Amino acid sequence: MGENPISIHVLGICSALAITTKIDTAVVMTLAVIAVLSISNTVISLLRNNIPNKVRIIIQMSVIASLVIIADQILKAYMYDMSKLLGVFLGLIITNCIVLGRAEAFAMQNSPGKSFLDGLGNGLGYGAILISVAFFREIIGFGSIYGKQIITNQMYLSGYENNGLMILSPGAFFILGLIVWAHRAYTKVLDKE
């Protein structure tokens, strides 16, 4: 992973940052994005030689939007509580920079097989960052990991307090900035070697 992919992934998660207060919501969101991204990439790749150039973007967006609607409907039927927590943010996958970006940059020029894998890979990269942010926000903000309380009552009694700022929006921005910094520093170290 070089410099660009992580920046792109960071931009792509913007629409989902609001749900990164807990890890479980981040996991479900990631699964939805992986599903939508890989399927949309495949479908668009299958159609790539037939799409008239004028309506290219609209067709791509229609495919993506339809997949998101289907994902939303499935979630509402089978994971009702989770769909309430994700709210409108599931729908915002449509405007996710990564999904449209990969459709245009990769799926339009490559075979369905490769496009599917590209979607899968990008989805996983997206998930890695999203879940990392959620991990830090949940542990520092709530003292739990995936719902399981990690910080014990003992620690609370001795003066430890959950950091409320993590739960609010600035927390997510700070964590993201720090993750990007850490990653860049890491790859720079790798480059030097």
Site of interaction with another protein (CB under 8 A): 7, 10-12, 14-15, 17-18, 21, 47, 50-55, 57-59, 61-63, 65-66, 68-70, 72-74, 76-78, 80-81, 84, 87-88, 91-92, 94-97, 100, 141-142, 162, 164-165, 167-174, 176-178, 180-181, 184-185, 188
CB of 184 to another protein, least distance (A): 4
- Give the alpha-carbon dihedral of 26, 164, 141, 90, to 10 degrees: -10
Closest CA to 45 of 94, 110, 122: 110
Minimum CB distance to another protein smaller for 24 or for 117: 24
Judged by DSSP in three states, 83 sits in helix
Helix (H) or strand (E) holding 148: strand 148-149
Minimum CB distance to another protein smaller for 111 or for 184: 184
Q: Are 108 and 45 in contact (CB under 8 A)?
A: yes
Minimum CB distance to another protein smaller for 65 or for 117: 65
